[in-house]
């Protein structure tokens, strides 16, 4: 909680305080949200409506209050009420940020979760096999692919996947369908995005697993396990992989947390209306509240992911458990 408060204060300061310190006035900020050639009165009115005429600490207080108690925006003939948690109100589209985030979150979660499953399975599996047969053909080939995967940018692999699998050979669907509507269609349209994203990430996991496994498989306890006459599968999975898993869980937690806060490039390439795309649009529009909202959401997920990682540590590594 305190952590989130600190994060929110820092984020708020970054977006609202820094530009002001760099010399941007509230007038200039407000002017960005009006059409061509606004009059002074127009700028004043917009500034007032967006609350930009108040001191920064008051603006921050309103922002924090909105998260806890909701906020009311009085614009034109109607009053818009933004229920708690209200993460602000877009300067540009005049939409509350929170409903936009929640409506887009399922897309981002679908993308992140599907890709995570893929990269975890493929990355770890490739890493293990490579480690068990170091310098073999498999090892070299997989590591080569992994290296390519981590080097190729998403706008290349993503666009290539779209070109090949939705246009050249139309195997996969083009428009996102929610999971609740049609799970098969959902997976079908997301598959190329999952693959492209997994390609990017699994390379890191393959390399991490490989090096971790190479190290643990040479440990004394592995030799002991083998000497006890355990099946090789058990030696590899139960003893080797489990010990090598800790750093992977750490990285996985961070990656997934960050990704849940929006996969900016992937969502843009695959035209997915997720949180990341919302952030991109807000950045384009210089629309501060949505950027702030997305940043906080990402921070929230990273914090949660870290917590889960700590819990998983205990499950994976008995040494970490509290006695």
Partner 1 sequence: MEGNPPIMRRSALAAVAAIGSACLLVAGCSKADDNKNDDNNTKAAGANAATKDVVNASTKKGGTVTYELSDVPDSFDPGNTYYAYMYNLSRLYARPLMTFQPGAGEKGNTLVPDLAASKGVPSDGGKTWTYKLRSGLKYQDGSPITSKDVKYAVERSNFARDVLSLGPNYFQQFMAGGDKYKGPYKDKSAKGLSSIETPDDTTIVFKLKTAFQEFDYLVAAPQTAPVPQAKDTGVDYVKNIVSSGSYKFQSYSEGKQAVLVRNENWDAKTDPLRKQYPDKIVVNLKVNAETIDKDVLAGDAIDLGGTGVQAATQAQLLASADKKAGTDNTYGGRLVYMAINTKVKPFDKVECRKAVQYAIDKVSVQTAEGGPIRGDVASTVLPPDIPGYEKSDVYASAGNKGDAAKAKEQLKACGKSSISTNISARSDRPQEIDAATAIINSLKKVGINASLKQYPSGKYFTDYAGVPKFTEKQNIGLIMMQWGADWPSGYGFLQQILNGSAIGESGNTNLSQYDNKDVNALLEKAIGTEDMTARNSLYTEIDKKTMDDAVLVPLTYFKVLLARPQNATNLVSTAAFSGQYDYLNIGTTKK
Restricting to residues 144-163, name those near partner 1 by CB under 8 A: 145-146, 149, 157, 159-163
User: Is the Cβ of residue 105 or residue 303 nearer to partner 1 in the bound state?
Assistant: 105
User: Is the Cβ of residue 76 or residue 318 nearer to partner 1 in the bound state?
Assistant: 76
Query: How many residues at the interface with partner 1, by CB under 8 A?
Result: 78
81 binds partner 1 (CB under 8 A): no
128 binds partner 1 (CB under 8 A): yes
Among 110, 202, 216, 295, binds partner 1 (CB under 8 A): 202
Among 101, 198, 208, 245, binds partner 1 (CB under 8 A): 198
How far apart are the C-alpha atoms of 209 and 30, rounded to whole Å? 51
45 binds partner 1 (CB under 8 A): yes
11 binds partner 1 (CB under 8 A): no
- For partner 1, which stretch binds (CB under 8 A), given 10-18, 59-67, 250-258, 277-285? 277-285
User: Is the Cβ of residue 5 or residue 238 nearer to partner 1 in the bound state?
Assistant: 238
94 binds partner 1 (CB under 8 A): yes
User: Is the Cβ of residue 145 or residue 187 nearer to partner 1 in the bound state?
Assistant: 145
State the nearest-atom distance from the C-beta of 170 to partner 1, in Å. 7
199 binds partner 1 (CB under 8 A): yes
Among 42, 53, 219, 317, binds partner 1 (CB under 8 A): 42
């Amino acid at each position: 909680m305190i952590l989130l408060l600190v994060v929110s204060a820092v984020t708020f300061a970054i977006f609202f305080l820094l530009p002001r310190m760099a010399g941007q006035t509230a007038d200039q900020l407000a002017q960005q949200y009006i059409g061509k050639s606004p009059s002074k009165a127009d700028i004043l009115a917009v500034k007032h409506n967006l609350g930009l005429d108040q001191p920064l600490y008051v603006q921050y207080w309103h922002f924090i209050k909105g998260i806890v108690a909701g906020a009311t925006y009085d614009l034109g003939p109607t009053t818009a009420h933004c229920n708690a948690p209200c993460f602000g109100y877009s300067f540009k589209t005049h939409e509350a940020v929170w409903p936009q985030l929640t409506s887009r979150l399922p897309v981002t979660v679908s993308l992140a979760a599907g890709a995570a499953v893929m990269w975890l399975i493929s990355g770890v599996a490739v890493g293990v096999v490579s480690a068990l047969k170091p310098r073999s053909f498999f090892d070299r080939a997989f590591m080569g692919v992994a290296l390519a995967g981590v080097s190729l940018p998403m706008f290349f692999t993503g666009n290539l996947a779209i070109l090949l699998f939705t246009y050249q050979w139309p195997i996969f669907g083009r428009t996102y369908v929610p999971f609740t509507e049609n799970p098969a269609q959902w997976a079908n349209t997301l598959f190329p995005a999952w693959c492209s994203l997994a390609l990017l990430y699994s390379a890191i996991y393959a390399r991490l697993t490989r090096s971790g496994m190479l190290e643990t498989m040479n440990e004394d306890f592995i030799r002991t396990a083998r000497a006890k006459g355990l099946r090789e599968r058990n030696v590899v999975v139960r003893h080797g992989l489990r010990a090598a898993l800790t750093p992977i869980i750490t990285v996985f937690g961070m990656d997934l947390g960050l990704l849940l806060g929006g996969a900016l490039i992937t969502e843009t390439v695959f035209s997915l209306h997720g949180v990341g795309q919302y952030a991109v649009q807000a950045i384009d529009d210089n629309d501060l509240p949505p950027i702030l909202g997305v940043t906080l959401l990402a921070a929230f997920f990273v914090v949660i992911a870290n917590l889960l990682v700590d819990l998983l540590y205990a499950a994976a590594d008995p040494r970490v458990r509290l006695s």
